[in-house]
Chain A
Amino acid sequence: DAGITQSPRHKVTETGTPVTLRCHQTENHRYMYWYRQDPGHGLRLIHYSYGVKDTDKGEVSDGYSVSRSKTEDFLLTLESATSSQTSVYFCAISESAGATQETQYFGPGTRLLVL
């Protein structure tokens, strides 16, 4: 398994509070991604990063922000959590991105419940 850890692994929070999830990798891969997994939707991309301080939006970015100050860390922040953000969040990494040869590897996930 790729060296990816996520913290926390489980979190319960209240509506309106800020929440930060952390993804840490030991592979020195350039690309990092945040997905959310919901029943019937598979995984959907929230934000991604293609280098330190280089990030961009994915399919479902509203209500989320990200930061990447170091190669190994990619933070996902829910600025004001809502019940619709209750989900399982997965971080992924890849060495290269492009039309060929990219394979993504996934972290263990963070289960977030917003009450």
Chain B
Amino acid sequence: AQSVSQHNHHVILSEAASLELGCNYSYGGTVNLFWYVQYPGQHLQLLLKYFSGDPLVKGIKGFEAEFIKSKFSFNLRKPSVQWSDTAEYFCAVNDHPLGMRFGAGTRLTVKP
């Protein structure tokens, strides 16, 4: 089974700061990778996904992620965060047929 590691449990930033959240996965073959966001009290929403092709993936709300196969990484980035980005962020990999394998999540707090 695959595994996903998210290095940061809680990140605190000021508005306009740049964001990078780390994600590493264990599987060396073909992978489908995802970032989901969960705003307080809400369900998970898909931010972006990577299946193949351009390793730099752009998602919603100004987020992007870069797939680096040699490093087994899929880090999430945003050049300038806003207070409304306060949420929990989950990296996940498709672990068919066992659904999605999620990391433990990173809680992002953006101070106004």
Contact = CB atoms under 8 A, between A and B. Distances in A.
A and B associate in one complex: yes
B98 A58 contact: yes
Contacts of B9: 40
A108 B96 contact: no
B28 interface: no
A7 to B, nearest CB: 14
A44 B102 contact: yes
Interface string B31-68: 01010100000111110010110000000000000000
A90 interface: yes
* Range of interface residues on B (Cβ < 8 Å): 20 to 34
Nearest to A103: B49
If over half of A's interface residues share one DSSP class (helix, strand or loop), that class is named, otherwise mixed; here it is loop
Interface in A31-84: 33, 35, 40-45, 48, 50, 56, 58-59
A100 B51 contact: yes
Contacts of B97: 48, 50, 56, 97
Given A42-B102, A104-B100, A99 B90 contact: no
B96 A98 contact: yes
Contacts of B6: 42
A14 interface: no
A112 interface: no
Interface in B57-112: 90, 92, 94, 96-100, 102-105
A18 B97 CA distance: 28
Nearest to A45: B99
Interface of A: 1, 33, 35, 40-45, 48, 50, 56, 58-59, 90, 92, 97-109
Given A33-B99, A42-B6, A45-B99, 16 more contacts: A1-B45, A40-B9, A42-B103, A48-B99, A59-B1, A97-B97, A99-B96, A100-B30, A100-B32, A100-B52, A103-B46, A104-B99, A104-B100, A106-B36, A106-B45, A109-B43
